Chains A and B, each alone.
Chain A
Amino acid sequence: MQALAQYLIQTFGLPVPLSVLSPLLGFMGGVVVLTAIAVQAMYLIWLERKVAAHMQDRLGPMLVGGWHGWAQSLADGIKLLLKEDIVPAAADRPLFLLAPLVVFVGSFAAFVCLPFGDRVIISDLNVGIFYIIAVTSFVVIGIIMAGWGSNNKWALFGAMRSAAQIVSYEIPVGLSLLAAVMAAGSLSMQEIVAAQDGGIHRWFAFRNPFLFVAFVIYFLASLSEVNRTPFDIPEAESELVAGYHTEYSGMRFSFFFLAEYANMFAVAAIAATLFLGGWQAPWGGGAPIFGVIWVIAKAHFLVFVQMWLRWTLPRLRVDQLMYIGWKVLTPFAFACIVGTGAWMLVFKQG
């Protein structure tokens, strides 16, 4: 944003001083991304229902808004806004009302450092990826608030389980990203993408076998961070009825729903940026405009894989989930780090 602000002042000679314009632009950028992600989340909801339908030999939404029911999630959104927002009598009122906001903030704050093009990024933090991992832990606090606030035995069960799950899967996520950061040599997202320049073989996922394993580990662990099948224990319909958002309805429920899909896209975009060369075209380079298309295409492919997994795989039990988290993914992530380090020593490049 800093560079964009200077660029605007030089060319158009705006009277406004730099220190005011760049935060203002940052704010406007935030609003733009917020609306873009909200629309994106609604599109993803529609896409999920179509993918699920076609995988289950049926059609999915077809009526609302013409061709293949494209306006279905718009209609759902309006319905949810108009629906009565019930707050249970015995609920812990402030916690109950604040929980969706905290979850919403947690999942949207990660979009600040996601690069969508050569200079198309809200603020290229030097500690980019580290900030993203830190901010997503807000979601856990929001979930615990929701579980405790709704004063319902099942919701509390769901909140406890999801807190334990996300905390224990942050470790494989962090370690597998560390492997990619080692190869890139910097935490800033733009530099990571720049390090993957020069064609598909230079992307971290395909650069050395350890990094490819790290990519797979990251993808699995991020599935669990976002509570998607096969790790969707907290909202295990068949056991915990609906997990931590059992008591929510109307607008507040749509916050949780939107946050889940935004989180899904965020996780996929991070994987695309760190392992699949962000806005780089497969043949290297990639002008700013096409960069955006490349990132979104890669992220959408990964989101499609997440949806594909959801509609084929059954759900894991809690102890199996913890076993995979601690005893399978974490050791393999350590091995990837050691492997990448050795690979860099031997071949002198990431």
Chain B
Amino acid sequence: MDGYLSAVVFYVFAAITVLSGAMVALSSRLIYAAFSLLLTFFGVAGLYIFLGADFIAATQVLIYVGGILILLLFGVMLTHRIYDFKILSTRVQFVPSVIVVGCTFALLLAVIFGTRWQMVKEAPPEYTAATIGKLLMTTYLLPFEAVSVLLLVALIGAATLARRDLTSGEES
């Protein structure tokens, strides 16, 4: 009875992630696909919390929902005549693809039920934010700085690309 409630919530989050993922893949309207991505990221953040990684969950919501999804939506909304553009491709070689998908699915199931998962006792939820901070600033300082330089380069590159090149006589 004890873990009963948390199991239910876990399956709810898992269902949200999977279903909205399917929606992204299968929806006929591109704009619906973009917006259902919001639920996918939200579901993934929920799963992170179940893993006890609260800092990562918050980062996931902040970066994916707050940044990348908005970028994607701008892209989708600003391209010309996007709404009447059908993206559902016709089915081709339906049978072979079903066979391949079936085999991989069976293989995965076998692996899941075959291995002996060590059931670690329910560890008390220790807070990850502090440890992540210390690790980033001590042992993993070099990769942290390298990534920040990479991001800076990407930022400047994006800015120069997006700058309206006035020199090309566009201002007739």
Contact = CB atoms under 8 A, between A and B. Distances in A.
Are chains A and B touching directly in their complex (CB below 8 angstroms)?
yes
B38 interface: yes
- What's the interface size class on B, roughly? 20 to 34
Nearest to A130: B58
A267 interface: no
Nearest to B56: A127
A17 B1 CA distance: 9
B140 interface: no
Contacts of A137: 61-62, 65-67, 70
Interface string A63-79: 00000000000000000
A20 B3 CA distance: 9
Contact of A19 (B2, B57, B127): B2
Contacts of A167: 66-67, 70
Given A127-B54, A134-B58, A187-B129, A141 B77 contact: no
A140 B70 CA distance: 8
B70 A144 contact: yes
Chain A interface helix/strand/loop/mixed = helix
Given A134-B61, A144-B73, A19 B66 contact: no
A167 B65 CA distance: 11
Contact of B65 (A127, A141, A148): A141
Contacts of A134: 58-59, 61-62, 65-66
A144 B35 CA distance: 10
B38 to A, nearest CB: 6
B1 A95 contact: no
A102 B70 CA distance: 14
B103 interface: no
Q: Mostly helix, strand, loop or mixed at chain B's interface? A: helix
A22 B105 CA distance: 38
Contacts of B73: 141, 144, 148, 163
B62 A130 contact: yes
Nearest to A148: B77
A95 B70 contact: no
23 contacts: A17-B2, A20-B5, A92-B31, A98-B35, A126-B54, A127-B54, A127-B57, A130-B59, A130-B129, A131-B58, A134-B58, A134-B65, A134-B66, A137-B61, A137-B62, A137-B70, A141-B35, A141-B38, A141-B65, A144-B73, A148-B73, A163-B74, A187-B129
Interface of B: 1-6, 31-32, 35, 38, 54-55, 57-59, 61-62, 65-67, 69-70, 73-74, 77, 127-130
Interface of A: 17, 19-20, 23, 92, 94-95, 98, 102, 125-127, 130-131, 133-135, 137-138, 140-141, 144-145, 148, 156, 160, 163, 167, 170, 186-187
Given A95-B31, A130-B59, A137-B70, 18 more contacts: A19-B5, A23-B5, A125-B54, A126-B128, A127-B57, A127-B129, A131-B58, A131-B61, A133-B62, A134-B61, A134-B65, A134-B66, A141-B70, A144-B73, A148-B31, A148-B73, A163-B73, A167-B66
